[in-house]
Structure 1
Amino acid sequence: MTVVVLRAFAPAFDVKDFLKRFPRLDADTVWSAGEKALLRRTHKDSGFNLTLAEAETSALALVKARQRLESLSAELAEARRRSVTCVADFGMFIGGERQFTGAIEFAPEDLRWFAAQGIGIAVSAYPSFDDETES
């Protein structure tokens, strides 16, 4: 399975005001600079995470993520205007029988599209195990 999350953040980002102005951005997670983060760190920026797509294959997740980002073009343009960094993080769950290893391929036209939108790309791998292997 592949999950794609939009991460938007900046040091001087009024994230709560931004999300209030754009209610279609129903963020999964919101944080503010100075708040405690994981591992006893403190957030240096403010931002949010928004799930864009979930799919069984990375190819389908890529298509769904692009469609969702296209529908959010006004919101993304405003984020760029405010110097907010936007990253699409493609997360793969690997290690189980269904997907022991994983890969995501980005064609040159995909990379050009993300660059034109001002969106960076990250790829994350999360270990998962089938219930059968946990015994």
Structure 2
Amino acid sequence: MNLATLRVEGDDETLALLCDALGRNFDNTWKKGEPKRRGGTHTLSGFGLTLADSDNPGEMVASIRQFLAECKVLGLAFSGTNLSSELAIGVTVGDSVQFVAFVDLTVADLSLLCSLGINLSVAAYPTSDEANATGDKK
């Protein structure tokens, strides 16, 4: 698994403008004050968007770059007094398909993330061939 998601939170007016500009279907949306899945309530409204769910890290990075370039052309900003965002990158490691993985972000990629106001989070999740096997093995 090589997954990249964007999470954006802010006030309703700023989010509405951003959502209109992006013109995408979001994975999930929430409003300030709505209950969270794991208890508590959301302090801000927001949305989540999958940018990539790819077979390998290279494909995922290509999808991220395409999205960032699109945002630059649109002149979007994902941070400010009423907005915050995070690009979360997750990769699985430890099975025969992807024993190790790396995410190659260039200086240009990182500069673009900064100029758009997007924070970055990268995580690796352990897996194994056994964990990925289908069927019940007792």
Structure-1-length-normalised TM-score: 0.76
Please report how far the alpha carbon of residue 3 of structure 1 lies from its aligned counterpart in structure 2 after TM superposition: 1.4
Distance 1:23 1:122, change over 3 A: closer
Structure 1 residue ranges without an equivalent (≥5):
none
Please report how far the alpha carbon of residue 109 of structure 1 lies from its aligned counterpart in structure 2 after TM superposition: 2.9
1:3-52 Cα offsets, whole Å, 9 max, x none, are 11111112x33477346634612111101111111221211111101111
State the AA in 2 paired with 1:34.
G
Q: Is the 8 A contact 1:15 1:32 kept in 2?
A: no
Structure 2 residue ranges without an equivalent (≥5):
none
Distance 1:15 1:50, change over 3 A: farther
Aligned to 2:116: 117
Aligned to 2:8: 8
For the residue of structure 1 that corresponds to 2:49, the secondary structure is strand
Q: Percent identity?
A: 26
**How many residues are matched?**
133
The CA distance in 2 between the partners of 1:118 and 1:46, in whole Å, is: 18
Q: Is the 8 A contact 2:18 2:76 kept in 1?
A: no
Q: Is the 8 A contact 2:68 2:113 kept in 1?
A: no
Query: What's the C-alpha RMSD, in Å, of the aligned pairs?
Result: 2.9
The CA distance in 2 between the partners of 1:16 and 1:25, in whole Å, is: 13
Aligned to 1:130: 132
Give matches, 1:5-84, under 5 Å: 5-10=5-10, 12-14=11-13, 17-18=16-17, 21-22=20-21, 24-73=23-72, 74=74, 76-77=76-77, 79-80=78-79, 83-84=82-83
State the AA in 1 paired with 2:27.
D
For the residue of structure 1 that corresponds to 2:38, the secondary structure is helix
Structure-2-length-normalised TM-score: 0.74
The CA distance in 1 between the partners of 2:65 and 2:122, in whole Å, is: 15
State the AA in 1 paired with 2:133.
D
1:71-115 Cα offsets, whole Å, 9 max, x none, are 2342733x5467321221112234544234543243333212211
Distance 1:118 1:103, change over 3 A: same
